[in-house]
Amino acid sequence: MKSRDWVRFFFSSLLVGAAAAVISGFVLNWDQQAGSFAEFKAGEILASFIWFIGVGLMFSIISQMGFFAYLTLHRFGLGIFGSIWSPVQILLIAFVFFDLIYFRYQVFGGDLAPYIWLALIFLAVCFGIAYMKQKDTNKGAFIPALFFMFVGTAVEWFPALRENDPNWLYFMLISLLCCNAYQLLMLPRFSGASVKRPGRQETAEG
């Protein structure tokens, strides 16, 4: 990727993070924000808007660090595990899925069902994005894309998982998913890479 394309990719990813955070932030916190809109408290609305943008930019940077870390990890994984790298990624996906349910339940307690539903919905969204990546490239891209979207996002999501505040959980997850999906699907277009690459081991970059 040329430096000019990387700069465009970086700033466009920042915009995605900011937009996702603003939209999800106002929606998830509508109970607190509705009064400000009803009474048109411009100062409070602007303060919330700026705060959501700032947090969204931070989430985008975390997402971009995670994405390029995964691209490096994928190369190491192929070099170390070779043809069994895909099964290893599937095993790690299953392990993280189990962790999102069991270990969070052990730490925070309560009803088990919300932990299961959150993990299932998260995994389903990642499946959908990985399928889009596969359709855009080839079948070999599905597992790397799913691994990045699920395992990579879960690692980036850890600060919110540790706090277990529902609004913060969803707010960070939505922003990270938007940023990660954007990077996963759009990087080949910024790098000028061919979209369809049959007959090769795919990476999350396409």
pLDDT recorded at residue 68:
92
> Residue 175's closest CA among 58, 7, 12?
58
**3-state DSSP assignment of residue 138:** coil
Instruction: Give the global pTM.
Output: 0.87
206: pLDDT strictly greater than 70: no
Q: How far apart are CA 55 and CA 84, in angstroms?
A: 38
pLDDT recorded at residue 198:
46
Measured CA distances, 9 to 47, 48, 166 (Å):
28, 26, 31
Q: How far apart are CA 6 and CA 49, in angstroms?
A: 27
pLDDT by residue (tens digit) across 45-56? 788 889 999 999
**3-state DSSP assignment of residue 3:** helix
pLDDT by residue (tens digit) across 96-152? 999 999 999 998 888 899 999 999 999 999 999 999 999 988 888 999 999 999 999
pLDDT by residue (tens digit) across 140-195? 899 999 999 999 999 999 989 888 788 899 999 999 999 999 999 998 888 765 44
